[in-house]
Chain A
């Protein structure tokens, strides 16, 4: 298996791309999708395997800079990071790369170069195409389609994985359909959505011929440095007064701000987390009843909810449950944080479950937000639950 390096996608693909198979990132115009191929390339190379990057629309030096922008240092990968230069020939520039296509408008020339690079690789690797659409523009649609079949067969011989970035410009219907459905073993659609009022970008699996395709769509965000992150636009943190909501938001976040007066949150806590391929914006509500109108206002469109409870203060549990109602959280993935486990008299998660009469499908997890105990475990649990929802 060759991992794509895209968070969540490898899980869905049951580990990655099997050796000798091909994958196309089918990118809708207007979406910054070429990063997918770049991330797969860098992930493979940094794992000690070989990667060939077919540069067709950018100068190889610029390409290394593009990788640098994401914090991916290509120099450290030495000769495992190989570029097939199918660009310099276009502008008549000299190239310092080992593989240079002298006439990028001639598909046979390109094929020759790619085959040579595949043969030379010392073990299975990945061949990533910076932009299949550019090659198609230069060499013609049907010529390119034929060539892809040839490249994919060749990859099979040498156990390489083929990865194409393809932007779905208005080519002929047949060409688009062919790329989406026939020509590769798997296809990942990368698009933008304007569903409701939040705008985002998503990816989903269209096809993968070695498995049953899960019908999942994943929102993502591109961060620099970092690359592609699974993105959750809003996670709500709510709970009664003095349960430790702000502390929890700050413990979880890489950076966070709070509107606190006299030691309590009066408006909201806003935090941002970047953790193991996931990124999320976190909204923490005030807990006191007089701020309920603001709680209601800010809780819309959350994708998941943390209910933070002070485990030593059973009297407030009812208020906690009430806050789930105010925030209209029922039906969303909820994780209950049994906070302040280090204090004397803290109830165990099971005792809390009994007192709240919470069904067992709502996890109750122990935590000590002041020293970050349990907060990331809780985050992972909630994210898994959010990802299970379609």
Chain B
């Protein structure tokens, strides 16, 4: 199995926990590596913006010596977006349904990030 296929598998496993509408893996500098989209949209733009958010958040906190954020969570009326680093080179991001519980998603996302880190 190629690395690309393995990454796809990580995302499809992540999708099995339910209420995840889109998930993607990208480089820290915003290039798409793999996406599992169940909503209409452009995954390239989705990950480019996610990488910017995560990078901006990291810069904002580390400038004030508050360390590196574990994740960035964005809540809207229509859902949630969670973006997390996966090793120094990659990041993983999910978009959920509005009623999704964050607890399980964070646990699974952390596991997925660990796997991605090992794969890359």
- What residues on A are CB-neighbors of B29 within 8 Å? 234, 297-301
B44, B49, B51, B52, most chain A CB atoms within 10 A: B52
Decide: A30 near B49, CB < 8 A? Known: A197-B27, A300-B28.
no
Cβ proximity bits A280-296 to B, threshold 8 Å, 1 near / 0 not? 01010000000001100
* B59 interfacial by beta-carbon distance below 8 Å: yes
Binds A, one of B14-22, B30-38, B69-77, B106-114: B30-38
Find the B residue at minimum CB distance from A299: B29
A171 interface residue (CB < 8 Å to B): no
Q: Are A267 and B31 in contact (CB under 8 A)?
A: no
Q: B52 to A233, Cβ gap below 8 A?
A: no
Contact A283 B2 (CB under 8 A): no
Contact of A198 among B5, B31, B49, B56 (CB under 8 A): B31
Q: How many residues of A contact B (CB 8 A)?
A: 24
> B55 an interface residue at 8 Å Cβ cutoff?
yes
Q: What separation, in Å, do the CA atoms of A268 and B27 have in the docked complex?
A: 16
Residues of chain B whose beta carbon lies under 8 Å from any beta carbon of chain A: 2-5, 27-31, 33-34, 42, 44-45, 48-49, 51-53, 55-56, 59, 89-90, 120
Residues of A participating in the B interface, judged by any CB pair closer than 8 Å: 30, 192, 194, 197-199, 233-234, 255, 257, 259, 267-268, 270, 272, 281, 283, 293-294, 297-301
* Interface contacts beyond A30-B5, A199-B4: sample of 15 additional A-B pairs, CB < 8 Å, sorted by A: A30-B2, A194-B3, A197-B27, A199-B33, A255-B42, A257-B45, A257-B49, A270-B30, A270-B45, A270-B49, A283-B30, A294-B55, A297-B51, A301-B27, A301-B31
Interchain residue pairs with CB less than 8 A apart (14): A192-B2, A197-B27, A197-B33, A199-B3, A199-B33, A267-B56, A268-B49, A270-B44, A281-B44, A293-B55, A294-B55, A297-B59, A298-B30, A301-B29
